[in-house]
Structure 1
Amino acid sequence: MNGPPSPSPARWFQALRRTRLGEPCLKTYGLECVELLRRARVAFQAGRTLKENFRMTQLEAVLRMLEEHECDFVDALGRDLHKPRFETVVSELILVKNEALHAINNLKKWMQPQHVERNLSTSLDECVVISEPLGVVFIVGTWCSPVQMCLVPLVGAIAAGNCAIIGPSECAAHTAELLHRLTPFYLDNECFHVILLGTNDLPEVVELKFDHVFFTGNREEGSRIAQAAARTLTPVTLILGGKNPCYVDQHCDIATTAQRIAWARFQNAGQSLVAPDYILCHADVKARLVQALKCCVMQFYGSDPQESRSFGRMVNLEIFNRLRDTLWRSGKVAVGGQVIEAEKYIAPTVLTEVSESDPIMQQEIFGPVLPLLTVNDVDEAIAFISKQEKPLCVYAYSSNSKVISRLMSETSSGSFCSNDCILQSLTVALPFGGVGATGMGSFHGRYSFDTFSHRKSCLLRGTRFECVTYLRYPPYEDRNLSLMTWASTLSQKSQGWCQIL
C-alpha cells in the first residue's frame, strides 16, 4: 500500500520555514483528538497497516525524517534543553535510527507465525502463534528524551502493524512542535498523528479508549495515566523513573569509574530516567572517587561549566527550583553547587556527607546532582538497595566478578549494568523496562514489536480421527477415562507434561 501523497513544493517549503522560525503550533483540543482517533481507527479497520510493504515504507520514512531534518532536531533540543549537538545526535537520533534499521532488517521474521511444540493429542495438528497488531495505540513521550521516547516506541508500533497517536511532552515544546509539523510529510496521514497537549489533558485523552497506551515519565503522571486507562480496560506500558543506585567497590579502576559515572550523571544536565541517581561508595575509596569526579568535571566542562558548549540546562524553572531547593537542604557540596536562575543553570554537583533522610534521597533527581553515601562492604550496599523501592536501573563497579554477580542476583531492578552506565537501556537486543514502582512492560527491538502485538494462539485441526476424539464426549464412561489417563501418562513420560486428548 502506498504512503500518503507528497505535498506540493510550496507547502513543503512553507512547513520548513515555519519550523525554522519557531512559529508556535496550536494546542490540540478534545474534539480534534476524537476526530484523529476516529480517522486512525477507520484506517486500521480497513487493513491499511497489515501489509509488510506498508510497514517497511513507514519505517523508512522515519529514517528519512531524521536524516533530512537533523539540524532542525538539533536546534529544537538546543532550545528546549540547551542540549549539545553531540548528545542530540548520539543519544536521540542515532538511537532511533538503530531501532528503525533493526526493525526493517528483521520485520519479515517477526511477522512470521511461530510454530510451537506439539504433544500426543495435537501431533496431527498445526499449532502456531500469530502476532497481530493491537489497533490504535497512544504513545506519550517524556521531556528528558523527547525524540527518543516518542519515536523508539513508534518504530515498534509501526513494525507491529498499528496506527499510532503520539503525544510529545509539552515541557519540550520546540521538539513537540517539530514532530507535529514534520510527521504529516513523512508518515501516512490517516494512520499516524501527533497531538500537542498539556500534561493535565492526558488522562482525558487516554479515556477516549485506545488499544494500548505507552507512557514514559514520572511516577505521579504514570499513576494518573494507569488509572485513566483502567477505566476503559486499556492495557498500558509504563516506563517510570526511580532512584537508580550505583555501587562503587574498593576493587575497581577509580579513574575509569569516575569518568563513566560523571558522563552518565551529567549528560543532558542530569535529566535522565536511567542515569545513576546516587552512589554507594566503599568507604576505603570515597576520597579518591570524589577527587576523580572533580577532575572529570574539569576535564569534561572546563573550569566554568556554565561557559561549556557541552553542558545543558534545566528544562524549565519549575524543575530548576525544585532541584535547587532540594540541593540546598542536602549533604555537603564537594564539587560544583553553583546555580543561576536566569539561565536555569545548575553546575555539575557532587554531594558528600549525605544521609538517607536528606531531601535529595527522597525523590528521583532530574538534574546534574550526584549524592554520595558510604558503605563498608557489598553486603551493606545490597541491604541498602533492597530496602528501597525497586529501581529502574542498578549499576555496579568492581573488578571482582563475585561482587558483580551478587549485586545482579541479590537486588531487583528493571535492568542491571556492571562497570558502565546507561548502555543497557540503549541496546536494541535487550528489553528495557521497569519493575514494581518503576513501571511495567518493556521495549526495544523485538520486545517493542511484541509489546504492540497480540500473540494469538492458533490450533489448526481437521475433522479426521474422530475415532479417537470421541473419548471426550458424554455420556462419560470409566473405560474412556482409563484410556485418556493412559494416554496422558504416555505423554507425560515422553514430553514432560500431562495432556488429556
Structure 2
Amino acid sequence: MNKYQLLLEKQRNYFRTGATLPVAFRKKALQTLLMAIKKRENEILEAVKIDLRKSSFEAYTNEIGIIYLEIKHLMKNIAKWAKPKKTKIEMFLMPGSGTIYNEPYGTSLIIAPWNYPFQLVIAPLIAAIAAGNTAIVKPSEVSQATAKIVTTILEESFSDNFVAVVNGGIDETTALLSLPVDKIFFTGSVPVGKIVMAAAAKNLTPVTLELGGKSPVIVDKSADLTLAARKIVWGKFNNAGQTCVAPDYILVDKSIESDFLKKLQEVIREFYGENPDESKDFGRIINERHVARLEKLINSNKVVFGGKVNVNKKYIAPTIMVNVTLDDVVMQDEIFGPILPILAFEKIEDAISIIRSFSKPLALYLFTKDKNVEKLIMERVSFGGGGVNTTILHVASSHLPFGGVGQSGTGSYHGKAGFDDFSHKKSVLKQPVFFDPGITYPGKQISLKLIKMIMG
C-alpha cells in the first residue's frame, strides 16, 4: 500500500468504529473547528491577502463570516436532520412501517479550488462532518499561503484518522482520485470536473461537482439601472472577477444600453476610484499565467472602460467591452476575471436564445420590474441558481441549495442540502412477525383480478 491507501484504510477503520455517528461527536467537531478558525482569524485574512490581495472586509465576509454562519446553522439542526424519518407506506404493505435513515457515506475526499481558498475547502468539510463522515482534504496548491493555514488549523483540530490534509499538485490529486473513497466533492473548472467524474466512475463513487460556466446577467428595459449597475459591478469585480458565480456577460435591452453603460462606469469609479490599481478594495489575479490568459480576451477596439494590464503586479483593471458578438474570443469560455462583455438584444426571446447557445450556466441574474419577464426567464431558462435584482448573494444562504446543472455541475450543498449531499438515504420497510398471509407466495397467490383491484 502507498501512503494514500494507508491513510484511506486508517480513516475507514476509524469510521467503522462508529465514533463519528453520534450527533454529540459531530457537534463537538464543528465547535472545535469553529474555535480553531476564530483563534487564527487574522492569519487567515493575511494568507488570503497574500494569495489574492483581498481586503480584510472582503476576505472576512467571503471566506470566514460565511463559514461561521454555516457552522452555527448546521450545529443547530444536525439532531433534527440526523433522526430517522418515518414515512407512509401503501395499503398493500400493511401492517408495517417505513423509515428513512440518514447514513453517512463513510470516507470522503474534498478537492478545493484557489479562488476562495479558505471558504471552498471548509464549507464542504463541515457538511461532511455534520453528516458523520471522515474526510481527506486537498487544498489548492495555487493558493499556497491559504493552503498552509488550512493545514495548520485542521491538523491542530483533528487526528488524521478523522480529518486529514494532503497538499501537493496534479500528482497528489491523481493519486487521491484513484482511491476507492465513499464520496468525492470537487470544486473547480469544467475540464477538471470531467477528469474527476471519470476517476470516480472507475470505483462507482458518488461525486458532487461544483463547476462553472458563462453566467449571464439580463438587464430588462424595466430595470432600475442604478441598482442594476451597483449590484452587477459588485458581483462581477468582487475578488477581481474570480468567482464561479460572477456575472460573466451582460445582455441588456438595446433601448437602455447607452444609459446603462454610463451607470456602469459611474459605479466602477465610485467603488474603486479613478485608479483601481490603487484601491484597497480591488483584488489581484491569482498568478501571472492567469493574467496572460485574461489579457488575450481583451479586444482593445471594443473596450470602453479599463483594459489596463500589469502582468508583474498581477493586475487587470475593471474592463467593459461593447459591441461584443458570440464569435469574440471573450465569449468562448468562462472568463473568470474582471472583464465584462456587453451584448444588446431587441426582444427578451433573443436574450433567451443567446443563453441557450451555451451550456447551462451555474448562475443567472435578472434585473427587471416586470413580473411577466421574471416568470418567462424562470420557466424557460435552466441554470444552477441565481437572483432577481441582485447578484451572487444566493450562495450566502444556508437555506438555498447551491449547485449547478448540466455542465455547470451536479449535486448541491449549503445547509441541509450539504448534509443530504454527504448522506445516503437508507430506506427500510419493517413488518411484524405475527402476520404473514403469504398471498404473494407461489401456491398461495390470490387471484390476478384481486391483485389488480388492490394495485391497479
Q: TM tier, shorter chain? A: over 0.9
State the match for 2:441 in structure 1. 473
Distance 1:393 1:274 in 2: 6
Among candidates 241, 245, 251, match of residue 222 of structure 2: 251
State the match for 1:12 in structure 2. none
Instruction: Give the root-mean-square deviation of aligned CA atoms.
Output: 1.4
Q: Are positions 1:231 and 2:213 aligned together? A: no
Residues 228-282 of structure 1: per-residue CA shift (max 9 Å, x gap): 1111111110011100010001111111100000000001011000001000011
State the match for 1:351 in structure 2. 321
8 Å Cα contact 1:330/1:358 also seen in 2: no
Cα displacement (A) at 1:63: 1.2
Residue 480 of structure 1 aligns to which amino acid in structure 2?
S
Distance 2:327 2:371 in 1: 32
Residue 112 of structure 1 aligns to which amino acid in structure 2?
K
Change (3 A) 1:118 1:447: same
Query: Which runs of 4 or more aligned residues in structure 1 lie more than 6 Å from their structure 2 counterparts after TM superposition?
Result: none
Residue 240 of structure 1 aligns to which amino acid in structure 2?
L
Distance 2:253 2:174 in 1: 44
Distance 2:158 2:319 in 1: 42
Question: Structure 2 matches for 1:152-301, cutoff 5 A?
Answer: 152-301=123-272
8 Å Cα contact 2:386/2:392 also seen in 1: no
Cα displacement (A) at 1:55: 0.2
Residue 111 of structure 1 aligns to which amino acid in structure 2?
A
Residues 135-165 of structure 1: per-residue CA shift (max 9 Å, x gap): 1000111111111111111111001100001
Distance 1:332 1:476 in 2: 80
Residues 46-87 of structure 1: per-residue CA shift (max 9 Å, x gap): 112011111001111121122111101100000000111111
State the match for 1:417 in structure 2. 387
8 Å Cα contact 1:331/1:354 also seen in 2: no
Q: Are positions 1:107 and 2:78 aligned together? A: yes
Cα displacement (A) at 1:331: 5.7
State the match for 2:360 in structure 1. 390
Q: Which runs of 5+ in 1 are unaligned?
A: 1-29, 489-497
Cα displacement (A) at 1:476: 6.0
Residues 97-137 of structure 1: per-residue CA shift (max 9 Å, x gap): 11111110001100111111122123321201000110100
Q: Are positions 1:452 and 2:422 aligned together? A: yes
State the match for 1:340 in structure 2. 310
8 Å Cα contact 2:37/2:153 also seen in 1: no
Distance 2:171 2:287 in 1: 17
Q: Are positions 1:482 and 2:449 aligned together? A: yes
TM-score by length of 2: 0.97
8 Å Cα contact 1:146/1:168 also seen in 2: yes
SS at match of 1:342: coil
TM-score by length of 1: 0.89
State the match for 1:62 in structure 2. 33
Change (3 A) 1:472 1:331: farther
SS at match of 2:340: strand
Question: Structure 2 matches for 1:46-85, cutoff 5 A?
Answer: 46-85=17-56
Q: Are positions 1:38 and 2:9 aligned together? A: yes
Residue 447 of structure 1 aligns to which amino acid in structure 2?
A
Residues 12-62 of structure 1: per-residue CA shift (max 9 Å, x gap): xxxxxxxxxxxxxxxxxx943233222211111111201111100111112
Cα displacement (A) at 1:330: 6.8
SS at match of 1:455: strand
Q: Which runs of 5+ in 2 are unaligned?
A: none
Cα displacement (A) at 1:386: 1.6
Among candidates 401, 407, 423, match of residue 437 of structure 1: 407
Distance 2:326 2:205 in 1: 38
Q: Percent of pairs identical after alignment?
A: 36
8 Å Cα contact 1:472/1:480 also seen in 2: no
